Chain A
């Protein structure tokens, strides 16, 4: 998902305190920033929320590529609004992570140095306008699948950020599907572009949920803490079940010869993505890893003079106010 393979941290806290904390989670209490929490809960959440935030920020880049190339002025305005939402989502999440005691600059440093991860999906290129459709439909669709249950997560600020994000995210998926509808019903060349986009984004979208975590200790701990609500396999299945009929409606073919409805499980059987490729992308060897991180770091460095200028202006204005106050006495 936007946060993939988050390792949970062990806690060396007092067993009595841990049990009391778990009891609070079990009865549905929300945990708020200054309250006692196990060190492992805090660290795991920082990792998960910041990874999610980084994904929103880096996730602007594949779409930013198409803002100046959008086919109409309206599509351009829509894409701008979507990318701006993603910046906003990143900011909500960074703020939520900061309530756990990490600074914004520390998180940026972790992203820029490559120590922090972001979702594997954003390391794939967006080659045609149809990719904007596929990204909105599939990538935002997969994100929603994960984010809707996370609105019920146990950590108050995270839950509130997710509620806000989910409210805005549904526009993202629908605008993507709208592009796909237009392309799929357009000229033959446009239909082919739409099919090609689905072909390239289908398996990377399935990878977003992360590898099967049936036996993962980390997942079990995170689920007990209610910072992960469903298993990766559950969410992936749900995503396939919802998306296949949408592809059929478009008259496009999901690129999986094994795909078929299984009445026994009331869901589709489908092929797994290439997990070796997934791990390579996570390690930094995807098609666009270097480009994405490079663009992000360059934006941060190129903006330094502006941030410093605003700080200098704020300092000067504060001095002027202090001076005026003294003179008035």
Chain B
């Protein structure tokens, strides 16, 4: 059986001013073809103005089991949010 084409993750900027956003993935033999295929698969209705393709194998992801150690430390730092501070109405808009 022939070798399977690598998987690419597709990111699309829907309009200037916005981030590229992950929309899905597809198989393609190389980056150029991945962009062409992404055009056909993910932007048939003008959903984008720019496409990034990244080989899925090149993405390093955090492990779901590490969710606690990674993200819990932010949980008890409510003072990072503006609503933590009571400012009297008399001060005006701040």
Contact = CB atoms under 8 A, between A and B. Distances in A.
Given A91-B41, A103-B4, A307-B2, A313 B29 contact: yes
A310 B33 contact: yes
Contacts of A318: 30
B29 to A, nearest CB: 4
Given A32-B64, A105-B4, A91 B26 contact: yes
Interface in B60-80: 61, 63-65
A312 to B, nearest CB: 9
Interface in A154-186: 160-161, 164, 168
B13 interface: no
B2 A95 contact: no
Contacts of A23: none
Given A85-B44, A95-B25, A104-B27, A34 B61 contact: yes
Interface residues of A, number: 28
Interface residues of B, number: 21
B1 interface: yes
B29 A311 contact: yes
Contacts of B29: 307, 310-311, 313-314
Interface in A94-108: 95, 98, 103-105
A139 B10 CA distance: 30
A304 interface: yes
Interface string A286-329: 00000000000000000010011011011001100000000000
Q: Most chain-A CB neighbours within 10 Å: which of B2, B24, B65?
A: B24
Query: Interface of chain A, helix or strand or loop or mixed?
Result: helix
A81 B40 CA distance: 11
A275 interface: no
B81 interface: no
Given A91-B41, A314-B33, A104 B2 contact: no
A317 B41 CA distance: 24
Nearest to B9: A95
Nearest to A313: B29
Contacts of A317: 30
B30 A84 contact: no
Contacts of B41: 88, 91-92
A92 B24 CA distance: 7
A94 to B, nearest CB: 9
Contacts of A32: 64
B33 A308 contact: no
B26 A95 contact: yes
Nearest to A312: B29
B46 interface: no
A104 B3 CA distance: 11
B91 to A, nearest CB: 40
B7 interface: yes
Interface of A: 32, 34-36, 81, 84-85, 88, 91-92, 95, 98, 103-105, 160-161, 164, 168, 304, 307-308, 310-311, 313-314, 317-318
Given A88-B44, A310-B5, 13 more contacts: A34-B61, A88-B40, A92-B24, A95-B7, A95-B25, A98-B7, A98-B25, A103-B4, A105-B1, A304-B2, A311-B3, A314-B33, A318-B30
14 contacts: A32-B64, A36-B64, A88-B44, A95-B7, A98-B7, A104-B27, A105-B4, A307-B5, A307-B29, A311-B3, A311-B5, A313-B30, A314-B33, A317-B30
